[in-house]
Chain A
Amino acid sequence: MDRGALLARLRNAIWLPAVAAGLLLCGGCARGEASGTQELRVWAFGAEGEALAPLAQEFERQNPGIRVRVQQIPWTAAHEKLLTAYVGGALPDVAQLGNTWIPEFAALGALQALDSLVAHDSAAIPLADYFPGVLATNVVDDTLFGVPWYVDTRVMFYRTDLLRAAGVTSPPTTWAAWRDALVRVRARQEPGSYPALLPLNEWAQPVIFGLQAGAPLLADHGTLAAFRDPRFRRGFEFYIQLFKDRLAPPLAATQIASVFQEFGAGRTAAYITGPWNVGEFRKRLPASVEWNTAPLPGPDSGGVSLAGGSSIVIMRKSGQRRAAWKLLAFLADPARQAAFFVKTGDLPARRSAWDDPALAGDRYLAAFRTQLGRVVPSPAVPEIELIVSRVAQAAERAARGQQTIDDALAGLDADVDQILEKRRWMLAQRGAAR
């Protein structure tokens, strides 16, 4: 952008090779000096990366032959770094991977298939103890590529007091009852308020409503868009109608100064969001505000939500599969998963970890546990993040009234079909080769 940056880049261009050479040399001598011990390079992101460092020390104490080098990477740079490292052949042995990224890295051939490892050591990682919907996000073409580490899903955060005042004593479980509750809450709100909050820049909500109506999102092995499918249309229409009926504000999250303030002041009574907000709500809402969480309503009864979270993967190029597997088994231990929750607020992927009092005794987490029994993965295609970002754009156009629902969905189908063109061609090539 400016000359200063250019100069800095030039300086880097000079220094980087020197530093890299130095690192190479050092890497060589370190390996020579510590012969007999294995070094396991692990990448983890954001707060998880921070919390992993002490765990790694504990792991080293239990496994004297293995040294773990944890590298923390900020979430915003994670995806980029992983792909750049793939291109440069510098991937670590073990990495945390957001589970929507798994299909992408599986397509690149970067991930180690774990089926045989799990089969040999099912006592350490019993797949039956994982939430099935979350586990499914780790499976691409019937092959397991990751072990869930922690899970994310969206539920409804709501103001118990406002709903009660409107005559709704238990959280609604069907779309119709939910809508009805929102209408009743609005009748008692100050003018200009909206009972629900569904930020328009988030793709999860329109996708979830589609999934709740039973939509597959993509058809034909994930090679064709299926957003005009009547099931997706049904969920999408319900979602858009919430904006048209002024039950939710047509705003992006960045246009809302503070969600906590809106929620605390009662200008919002229901908000669909994830576990990361449990801690924030606890911290930021005044004690006088009564709130709780509830599983999402569905078309006829309790609805599904998205299976999110992070998994731990082993890279295919890693020469340290056994040591890596030991680390995976170490992190999968239920007691350790519960302790990890206490530290980070990340929800454990193993169901038995949820019996720990720290989780079982938390009134805000019961809804998550129920919801995690009802989560579905997004389609396992490498293009999924780009596709869902387009869903959010189409939903925003429809919600702001720039397009009709049918036009928005037709446009979305055309868009996504174009994105998937390469995938269709790749699969056709592969089919021809066979």
Chain B
Amino acid sequence: MRDTDARRRAPRIAPGWWFVAPALTLIVVFFVGPVIAALGLSFTDFDLYALADPRAARWVGFRNYARVLHEPLFWQALRNTLYFAIVGGPLTVAASLGAALLVNARTLRWKATARAVFFAPFVTTLVAVAIVWKYLYHPRYGLLNWLLGHLGIPQIDWLGDPHWAMPAIILLATWKNFGYNMLIFIAGLQNIPRELHEAAALDGATPFQRFRHVTIPMLAPTMFFVVIVTMIGYLQLFTEPYVMTQGGPLRATTSLVLYMYEEGFRWWRLGVAAGIAFLLFILIVLFTLLQRRISPRGAV
């Protein structure tokens, strides 16, 4: 009786809340807060003048969004980003699946070493990697052109030619990122019960048939996760072009995030930049929903 009275006087907070409170506070202060502030910012014309005097910022409604959507550079950045994600995404997933199968193969020796080697690019700092790759891509002294030269293929100006710059960036990103997905795929592969493979083999399935009808379906949930995470990451392409090409040549590698960065921190049109950020957010949500829809039912 007294106990319930006490409870009525000071409503008890479930202890769970206390446990998550530190993390929750951090999320609210460093994530939810800034996101709401950015949303507000995207409806103002916050710019250089407003930096000097906040009263110079005006509420402009959807004008930033309308202007960005009328800007040819936005559409070019969108095309570049989609090009990168749609070509680079599947390529990365395929490379990581291939590497995972290879590393997981029972006949392979030095498994741990192979895994470490494949994983190494992922944990290397991207800026350092990009600088090394800039040398590899050098039109005259680069290793890549030297190799191609031996095959009788003429020199390609990888980062200077608008047609080759994006493929060059895709190649780098694939190499850099496949290691992480590979680890997830390995985990997925090891979760497939060996009996299934044995049963299929007894039924006379060839290795390819086993891959097609046992491995792939059993990997579906892993695949869904890997594809979604890769695509979300790839739609936010920034560092590679920022370090290697600065968005050039002829804007061929200007991604949405790089465009946003330029608007925000080169021209200091922070309102416009915030607008671009939310357009990118909408794009990512749409992409993820689309993938949910086209993925096999059991995967989700």
Contact = CB atoms under 8 A, between A and B. Distances in A.
A108 interface: yes
22 contacts: A1-B238, A1-B239, A1-B257, A2-B180, A2-B233, A3-B233, A4-B125, A8-B125, A83-B51, A84-B265, A86-B51, A107-B49, A107-B52, A109-B52, A201-B250, A252-B248, A252-B250, A255-B249, A257-B157, A386-B267, A423-B49, A426-B49
Band of interface residues on A: 20 to 34
B236 interface: yes
B266 A79 contact: yes
Nearest to A254: B249
A422 interface: yes
CB-based closest 3 A-B pairs: A254-B249, A108-B52, A1-B239
B266 A80 contact: yes
B161 interface: yes
Contacts of A2: 122, 126, 176-177, 180, 233, 239
B279 to A, nearest CB: 18
Contacts of B147: none
Contacts of A425: 58
A104 interface: yes
A252 B51 contact: no
A386 B73 CA distance: 14
Contacts of A382: 48-49
Interface string B233-245: 1001111100000
A423 B48 CA distance: 10
Contacts of B122: 2, 4
Interface in A394-434: 418, 422-423, 425-426, 429
Nearest to A79: B266
B268 A254 contact: no
A1 B237 contact: yes
A20 interface: no
A1 B265 contact: no
Interface in B149-166: 157, 160-162
Interface string B108-127: 00000000000000110110
Contacts of A109: 52
B139 interface: yes
A104 B48 contact: yes
A80 B237 CA distance: 20
Contacts of B162: 255
A390 to B, nearest CB: 11
A4 B123 contact: yes
A83 to B, nearest CB: 6
Nearest to A429: B56
Interface string A197-232: 000010000000000000000000000000000000
Interface in B246-297: 246, 248-250, 257, 265-268
Contact of B240 (A1, A201, A422): A1
Contacts of A79: 266
Interface string A335-346: 000000000000
Interface in B72-118: none
Interface in B43-60: 45, 47-49, 51-52, 56, 58
Nearest to A8: B125
A393 to B, nearest CB: 9
Interface string A1-20: 11111001000010000000
Given A1-B237, A79-B266, A426-B56, A107 B48 contact: yes
B180 A3 contact: yes
Given A107-B52, A108-B52, A257 B160 contact: yes
Contacts of A34: none
A128 interface: no
A87 interface: yes
A257 B154 CA distance: 14
B161 A108 contact: no
A83 B250 contact: no
Contacts of B240: 1
A422 B45 contact: yes
Most buried by B among A8, A84, A255: A255
Interface string B208-236: 00000000000000000000000001001
Contacts of A83: 48, 51, 265, 268
A198 to B, nearest CB: 16
Contacts of A8: 125
